[in-house]
Amino acid sequence: MSILEISKLTVRFGGLTAVNSVSLDIPTNEIVSVIGPNGAGKTTLFNAVTGIHEPTSGTIRFDGRETRRPFRTSTALTLALVGLIAALSFILIVNIEPLWDATITSNYVYQQPFPWTKALSSAVGFFSGQTGGRLLLPFLIGGILGLAGALAIWFRNRYAPEVAARAGIARTFQNIRLFNQMSALDNVLLGMDSRLQTRFWHAALRLPLFWRERRDAEQRAMEILRFVRLDSEAHQLAENLAYGHQRRLEIARALAVQPRLLLLDEPAAGMNPAEARDLMNLIHEIRDRGITVLLIEHHMPVVMGISDRIAVLDHGEKIAEGTPAEVRSNVRVVEAYLGKDHEDAAAT
Protein backbone atom coordinates (compact mmCIF):
# COMPACT_ATOMS: atom_id res chain seq x y z
CA MET A 1 0.00 0.00 0.00
CA SER A 2 1.45 3.31 -1.07
CA ILE A 3 0.63 6.44 0.82
CA LEU A 4 1.80 8.72 -2.00
CA GLU A 5 1.49 7.86 -5.67
CA ILE A 6 3.06 10.25 -8.12
CA SER A 7 2.32 9.33 -11.69
CA LYS A 8 3.78 10.97 -14.79
CA LEU A 9 4.26 14.26 -12.95
CA THR A 10 5.51 17.10 -15.12
CA VAL A 11 6.16 20.61 -13.84
CA ARG A 12 7.12 23.23 -16.37
CA PHE A 13 8.06 26.87 -15.74
CA GLY A 14 7.65 28.60 -19.09
CA GLY A 15 10.12 26.80 -21.31
CA LEU A 16 11.96 25.06 -18.50
CA THR A 17 10.90 21.55 -17.62
CA ALA A 18 11.89 21.12 -14.01
CA VAL A 19 10.28 17.74 -13.49
CA ASN A 20 9.59 15.55 -16.50
CA SER A 21 7.13 12.68 -16.32
CA VAL A 22 8.29 11.35 -12.96
CA SER A 23 6.41 8.43 -11.42
CA LEU A 24 7.13 7.47 -7.88
CA ASP A 25 5.36 5.40 -5.26
CA ILE A 26 6.07 5.98 -1.59
CA PRO A 27 5.14 2.89 0.44
CA THR A 28 3.46 3.55 3.76
CA ASN A 29 5.70 3.79 6.77
CA GLU A 30 9.03 3.68 4.95
CA ILE A 31 11.85 6.13 4.65
CA VAL A 32 12.41 7.10 1.04
CA SER A 33 15.17 9.40 -0.18
CA VAL A 34 15.26 11.43 -3.33
CA ILE A 35 18.79 12.19 -4.46
CA GLY A 36 20.32 13.75 -7.51
CA PRO A 37 22.71 16.49 -8.58
CA ASN A 38 21.84 20.16 -8.05
CA GLY A 39 19.05 21.32 -10.33
CA ALA A 40 17.71 17.81 -10.83
CA GLY A 41 14.20 18.90 -9.81
CA LYS A 42 14.07 17.43 -6.32
CA THR A 43 12.76 20.51 -4.58
CA THR A 44 10.31 21.16 -7.43
CA LEU A 45 8.99 17.66 -6.88
CA PHE A 46 8.54 18.47 -3.18
CA ASN A 47 6.84 21.76 -4.02
CA ALA A 48 4.41 19.98 -6.33
CA VAL A 49 3.59 17.40 -3.68
CA THR A 50 2.93 20.11 -1.08
CA GLY A 51 0.79 22.17 -3.44
CA ILE A 52 3.15 25.12 -3.90
CA HIS A 53 3.48 24.44 -7.64
CA GLU A 54 0.58 23.26 -9.72
CA PRO A 55 1.49 20.19 -11.79
CA THR A 56 1.60 20.92 -15.53
CA SER A 57 0.42 17.39 -16.09
CA GLY A 58 0.25 14.14 -14.20
CA THR A 59 -1.36 13.38 -10.88
CA ILE A 60 -0.32 13.22 -7.26
CA ARG A 61 -2.44 10.97 -5.11
CA PHE A 62 -2.10 11.05 -1.36
CA ASP A 63 -3.89 8.24 0.38
CA GLY A 64 -5.79 7.51 -2.82
CA ARG A 65 -7.02 11.09 -3.23
CA GLU A 66 -5.65 13.99 -5.21
CA THR A 67 -4.15 16.74 -3.05
CA ARG A 68 -6.24 19.59 -4.33
CA ARG A 69 -9.38 21.33 -3.24
CA PRO A 70 -12.32 19.15 -4.19
CA PHE A 71 -15.32 20.68 -5.95
CA ARG A 72 -18.14 19.97 -3.55
CA THR A 73 -21.78 21.03 -3.51
CA SER A 74 -20.90 23.64 -0.89
CA THR A 75 -18.27 25.07 -3.28
CA ALA A 76 -20.88 25.43 -6.01
CA LEU A 77 -23.29 27.06 -3.56
CA THR A 78 -20.66 29.51 -2.37
CA LEU A 79 -19.78 30.46 -5.94
CA ALA A 80 -23.46 30.92 -6.79
CA LEU A 81 -23.94 33.02 -3.66
CA VAL A 82 -21.03 35.30 -4.55
CA GLY A 83 -22.44 35.69 -8.06
CA LEU A 84 -25.88 36.50 -6.69
CA ILE A 85 -24.56 39.05 -4.21
CA ALA A 86 -22.53 40.71 -6.96
CA ALA A 87 -25.58 40.78 -9.24
CA LEU A 88 -27.84 42.29 -6.58
CA SER A 89 -25.27 44.87 -5.55
CA PHE A 90 -24.89 45.91 -9.20
CA ILE A 91 -28.63 46.51 -9.42
CA LEU A 92 -28.48 48.46 -6.18
CA ILE A 93 -25.52 50.55 -7.35
CA VAL A 94 -27.19 51.43 -10.63
CA ASN A 95 -30.52 52.36 -9.03
CA ILE A 96 -29.52 53.63 -5.61
CA GLU A 97 -30.58 57.27 -5.91
CA PRO A 98 -34.01 56.85 -7.55
CA LEU A 99 -34.70 53.87 -5.31
CA TRP A 100 -33.91 55.90 -2.22
CA ASP A 101 -36.14 58.72 -3.42
CA ALA A 102 -38.98 56.36 -4.25
CA THR A 103 -38.92 54.39 -1.02
CA ILE A 104 -37.52 56.60 1.72
CA THR A 105 -37.80 60.25 0.75
CA SER A 106 -41.28 60.12 -0.74
CA ASN A 107 -42.78 58.12 2.13
CA TYR A 108 -41.18 59.83 5.07
CA VAL A 109 -42.85 62.78 6.69
CA TYR A 110 -40.52 64.61 9.03
CA GLN A 111 -40.51 62.98 12.46
CA GLN A 112 -43.64 60.97 11.73
CA PRO A 113 -43.66 57.17 12.14
CA PHE A 114 -42.42 55.57 8.97
CA PRO A 115 -44.83 53.34 7.00
CA TRP A 116 -42.51 50.36 6.42
CA THR A 117 -44.99 48.25 4.49
CA LYS A 118 -45.83 51.14 2.19
CA ALA A 119 -42.13 51.72 1.58
CA LEU A 120 -41.72 48.06 0.70
CA SER A 121 -44.55 48.20 -1.81
CA SER A 122 -43.04 51.39 -3.30
CA ALA A 123 -39.78 49.48 -3.70
CA VAL A 124 -41.58 46.67 -5.49
CA GLY A 125 -43.41 49.25 -7.59
CA PHE A 126 -40.14 50.96 -8.41
CA PHE A 127 -38.53 47.78 -9.65
CA SER A 128 -41.54 46.58 -11.61
CA GLY A 129 -41.69 49.95 -13.36
CA GLN A 130 -38.06 49.66 -14.46
CA THR A 131 -36.97 48.69 -17.94
CA GLY A 132 -34.50 45.85 -18.48
CA GLY A 133 -31.66 48.32 -18.95
CA ARG A 134 -31.68 49.20 -15.26
CA LEU A 135 -32.55 45.76 -13.98
CA LEU A 136 -31.62 42.88 -16.21
CA LEU A 137 -28.40 44.32 -17.60
CA PRO A 138 -26.76 45.14 -14.26
CA PHE A 139 -27.99 41.80 -12.92
CA LEU A 140 -26.32 39.94 -15.77
CA ILE A 141 -23.11 41.96 -15.72
CA GLY A 142 -22.80 41.72 -11.95
CA GLY A 143 -23.70 38.06 -11.85
CA ILE A 144 -21.27 37.07 -14.58
CA LEU A 145 -18.51 39.21 -13.12
CA GLY A 146 -19.03 37.84 -9.61
CA LEU A 147 -19.35 34.25 -10.70
CA ALA A 148 -16.38 34.41 -13.07
CA GLY A 149 -14.25 36.13 -10.46
CA ALA A 150 -15.16 33.66 -7.73
CA LEU A 151 -14.56 30.77 -10.10
CA ALA A 152 -11.18 32.17 -11.14
CA ILE A 153 -10.12 32.61 -7.53
CA TRP A 154 -11.28 29.12 -6.66
CA PHE A 155 -9.55 27.63 -9.71
CA ARG A 156 -6.23 29.33 -9.04
CA ASN A 157 -6.45 28.29 -5.42
CA ARG A 158 -7.08 24.61 -6.09
CA TYR A 159 -3.50 23.64 -5.48
CA ALA A 160 -2.57 25.33 -2.24
CA PRO A 161 -0.09 24.35 0.45
CA GLU A 162 -2.74 24.48 3.17
CA VAL A 163 -4.81 21.86 1.35
CA ALA A 164 -1.90 19.44 1.33
CA ALA A 165 -1.07 20.27 4.95
CA ARG A 166 -4.62 19.65 6.11
CA ALA A 167 -4.68 16.36 4.19
CA GLY A 168 -1.65 15.28 6.22
CA ILE A 169 1.49 16.28 4.34
CA ALA A 170 3.95 18.41 6.30
CA ARG A 171 7.34 19.61 5.19
CA THR A 172 10.52 21.40 6.11
CA PHE A 173 12.45 23.73 3.86
CA GLN A 174 15.89 23.62 2.30
CA ASN A 175 16.80 27.02 3.69
CA ILE A 176 15.17 27.11 7.09
CA ARG A 177 11.93 29.07 7.08
CA LEU A 178 11.02 29.32 10.75
CA PHE A 179 9.01 32.22 12.10
CA ASN A 180 12.10 33.86 13.49
CA GLN A 181 10.46 36.31 15.85
CA MET A 182 8.17 33.76 17.44
CA SER A 183 9.32 31.55 20.26
CA ALA A 184 10.09 27.90 19.60
CA LEU A 185 6.89 26.99 21.41
CA ASP A 186 4.83 29.38 19.28
CA ASN A 187 6.36 27.93 16.14
CA VAL A 188 5.17 24.48 17.15
CA LEU A 189 1.77 25.84 18.21
CA LEU A 190 1.39 27.42 14.80
CA GLY A 191 2.04 24.06 13.18
CA MET A 192 -0.77 22.69 15.32
CA ASP A 193 -3.16 25.41 14.17
CA SER A 194 -5.20 23.38 11.70
CA ARG A 195 -6.03 20.89 14.46
CA LEU A 196 -7.42 23.50 16.87
CA GLN A 197 -11.09 24.21 17.40
CA THR A 198 -10.94 27.72 18.85
CA ARG A 199 -12.83 30.15 16.68
CA PHE A 200 -12.96 33.91 16.58
CA TRP A 201 -15.48 34.34 19.39
CA HIS A 202 -13.71 31.93 21.72
CA ALA A 203 -10.47 33.81 21.23
CA ALA A 204 -11.92 37.33 21.37
CA LEU A 205 -13.98 36.74 24.50
CA ARG A 206 -11.77 34.06 26.05
CA LEU A 207 -14.58 31.56 26.43
CA PRO A 208 -13.82 28.36 28.36
CA LEU A 209 -12.88 26.47 25.18
CA PHE A 210 -10.04 28.95 24.63
CA TRP A 211 -8.48 28.26 28.03
CA ARG A 212 -8.94 24.51 27.81
CA GLU A 213 -7.54 24.28 24.33
CA ARG A 214 -4.64 26.59 25.06
CA ARG A 215 -3.58 24.41 27.99
CA ASP A 216 -3.90 21.19 25.98
CA ALA A 217 -2.17 22.63 22.93
CA GLU A 218 0.75 23.95 24.95
CA GLN A 219 1.11 20.59 26.62
CA ARG A 220 1.15 18.79 23.28
CA ALA A 221 3.58 21.31 21.84
CA MET A 222 5.93 20.75 24.78
CA GLU A 223 5.72 17.02 24.18
CA ILE A 224 6.73 17.48 20.57
CA LEU A 225 9.58 19.76 21.62
CA ARG A 226 10.69 17.12 24.10
CA PHE A 227 10.59 14.56 21.33
CA VAL A 228 13.08 16.56 19.25
CA ARG A 229 14.97 17.38 22.48
CA LEU A 230 14.33 21.11 22.37
CA ASP A 231 12.11 21.44 25.45
CA SER A 232 14.73 23.47 27.29
CA GLU A 233 14.67 26.08 24.50
CA ALA A 234 10.88 26.39 24.32
CA HIS A 235 10.76 30.09 25.14
CA GLN A 236 13.72 31.20 23.06
CA LEU A 237 13.03 33.12 19.89
CA ALA A 238 13.52 30.77 16.95
CA GLU A 239 16.09 33.17 15.54
CA ASN A 240 18.33 32.80 18.57
CA LEU A 241 18.57 29.02 18.40
CA ALA A 242 21.70 27.29 17.17
CA TYR A 243 21.64 26.17 13.57
CA GLY A 244 21.18 22.49 14.32
CA HIS A 245 18.42 23.34 16.78
CA GLN A 246 16.65 25.40 14.14
CA ARG A 247 16.66 22.38 11.84
CA ARG A 248 15.15 20.26 14.60
CA LEU A 249 12.59 22.93 15.46
CA GLU A 250 11.48 22.96 11.84
CA ILE A 251 10.89 19.22 12.08
CA ALA A 252 8.98 19.73 15.33
CA ARG A 253 6.80 22.38 13.70
CA ALA A 254 6.05 19.99 10.83
CA LEU A 255 5.26 17.17 13.26
CA ALA A 256 2.75 19.43 15.01
CA VAL A 257 0.67 19.39 11.83
CA GLN A 258 0.11 15.70 12.69
CA PRO A 259 1.15 14.53 9.25
CA ARG A 260 1.10 11.03 7.87
CA LEU A 261 3.74 11.97 5.35
CA LEU A 262 6.70 14.13 6.33
CA LEU A 263 8.84 15.75 3.65
CA LEU A 264 12.31 16.77 4.74
CA ASP A 265 14.24 18.98 2.34
CA GLU A 266 17.96 18.47 3.08
CA PRO A 267 17.59 18.09 6.84
CA ALA A 268 21.26 17.27 7.35
CA ALA A 269 22.61 20.26 5.40
CA GLY A 270 25.34 21.93 7.39
CA MET A 271 25.38 19.40 10.21
CA ASN A 272 28.49 17.85 11.65
CA PRO A 273 28.76 14.03 11.79
CA ALA A 274 27.52 13.82 15.38
CA GLU A 275 24.48 16.00 14.64
CA ALA A 276 23.80 13.98 11.48
CA ARG A 277 23.80 10.79 13.56
CA ASP A 278 21.31 12.33 15.98
CA LEU A 279 19.17 13.35 13.04
CA MET A 280 19.18 9.81 11.66
CA ASN A 281 17.99 8.51 15.02
CA LEU A 282 15.29 11.15 15.07
CA ILE A 283 14.07 10.22 11.58
CA HIS A 284 13.93 6.59 12.65
CA GLU A 285 11.87 7.53 15.70
CA ILE A 286 9.51 9.54 13.51
CA ARG A 287 9.06 6.57 11.21
CA ASP A 288 8.40 4.36 14.25
CA ARG A 289 5.52 6.68 15.15
CA GLY A 290 3.82 5.61 11.94
CA ILE A 291 4.83 8.59 9.80
CA THR A 292 6.14 7.99 6.31
CA VAL A 293 9.26 10.04 5.60
CA LEU A 294 10.34 11.35 2.22
CA LEU A 295 13.61 13.21 2.20
CA ILE A 296 15.95 15.03 -0.11
CA GLU A 297 19.54 14.69 0.99
CA HIS A 298 23.04 15.20 -0.32
CA HIS A 299 24.75 13.75 2.71
CA MET A 300 25.48 10.22 1.43
CA PRO A 301 26.17 8.51 4.76
CA VAL A 302 22.76 9.69 5.97
CA VAL A 303 21.01 8.64 2.77
CA MET A 304 22.58 5.19 2.67
CA GLY A 305 22.18 4.73 6.40
CA ILE A 306 18.46 5.35 6.83
CA SER A 307 16.68 4.93 3.50
CA ASP A 308 14.53 1.93 2.81
CA ARG A 309 14.36 3.01 -0.79
CA ILE A 310 16.10 5.64 -2.88
CA ALA A 311 14.94 7.42 -6.04
CA VAL A 312 17.46 9.24 -8.20
CA LEU A 313 16.53 12.29 -10.28
CA ASP A 314 18.64 13.90 -12.96
CA HIS A 315 17.58 16.74 -15.27
CA GLY A 316 14.01 16.36 -14.07
CA GLU A 317 13.75 12.68 -14.88
CA LYS A 318 13.87 9.66 -12.64
CA ILE A 319 16.87 7.60 -13.66
CA ALA A 320 16.90 4.94 -10.97
CA GLU A 321 14.97 3.62 -8.01
CA GLY A 322 15.66 0.85 -5.55
CA THR A 323 17.29 -0.14 -2.31
CA PRO A 324 20.47 1.70 -1.32
CA ALA A 325 22.63 -1.19 -2.54
CA GLU A 326 20.92 -1.27 -5.92
CA VAL A 327 21.21 2.44 -6.43
CA ARG A 328 24.86 2.50 -5.42
CA SER A 329 25.76 0.03 -8.15
CA ASN A 330 23.56 1.58 -10.82
CA VAL A 331 25.62 2.73 -13.81
CA ARG A 332 23.36 5.65 -14.69
CA VAL A 333 23.53 7.00 -11.16
CA VAL A 334 27.31 6.96 -11.17
CA GLU A 335 27.21 8.68 -14.55
CA ALA A 336 24.87 11.36 -13.30
CA TYR A 337 27.04 12.13 -10.31
CA LEU A 338 30.50 11.78 -11.81
CA GLY A 339 29.92 12.35 -15.53
CA LYS A 340 29.96 10.02 -18.47
CA ASP A 341 33.68 10.21 -19.05
CA HIS A 342 34.50 9.19 -15.53
CA GLU A 343 35.20 5.55 -16.22
CA ASP A 344 37.10 6.30 -19.38
CA ALA A 345 39.16 8.78 -17.48
CA ALA A 346 39.76 6.31 -14.72
CA ALA A 347 40.78 3.66 -17.23
CA THR A 348 43.43 5.78 -18.90
User: Which residues would be at the binding site for other proteins (CB under 8 A)?
Assistant: 50, 52, 82, 85, 96-97, 100-101, 104-105, 107-108, 110-111, 114, 119, 149, 153, 156-157, 160-162, 164-166, 170-171, 173, 176-182, 186, 189-191, 193-194, 196, 198, 200, 202-206, 210, 214, 237, 239, 242-243, 246, 253-254, 256-257, 269-272, 298-299
Give 112-166 as a DSSP string: SPP-HHHHHHHHHHHHHTS-HHHHHHHHHHHHHHHHHHHHHHHHHTSS-HHHHHH
CA atoms of 331 and 260, how far apart (whole Å): 34
| Nearest approach, Cβ of residue 98 and other proteins (Å) | 9
338, 321 in Cβ contact below 8 A?
no
CA atoms of 118 and 65, how far apart (whole Å): 56
Tell me the residue type at 74: S
| Nearest approach, Cβ of residue 180 and other proteins (Å) | 7
| Nearest approach, Cβ of residue 322 and other proteins (Å) | 25
By C-beta, is 171 or 318 nearer to other proteins?
A: 171
By C-beta, is 170 or 306 nearer to other proteins?
A: 170
By C-beta, is 193 or 285 nearer to other proteins?
A: 193
| Element holding 167 (H helix, E strand) | helix 161-167
| Nearest approach, Cβ of residue 62 and other proteins (Å) | 14
CA atoms of 35 and 21, how far apart (whole Å): 17
By C-beta, is 161 or 322 nearer to other proteins?
A: 161
| Nearest approach, Cβ of residue 329 and other proteins (Å) | 25
By C-beta, is 296 or 320 nearer to other proteins?
A: 296
By C-beta, is 52 or 137 nearer to other proteins?
A: 52
By C-beta, is 71 or 108 nearer to other proteins?
A: 108
Residues 6+ apart with CB under 8 A from 176: 246, 247, 250
CB atoms within 10 A of CB 211: 12
| Nearest approach, Cβ of residue 126 and other proteins (Å) | 14
| Nearest approach, Cβ of residue 181 and other proteins (Å) | 4
228, 252 in Cβ contact below 8 A?
yes
What would you report as the CA-atom Rg of the chain, rounded to the nearest whole angstrom?
A: 28
CA atoms of 79 and 334, how far apart (whole Å): 53
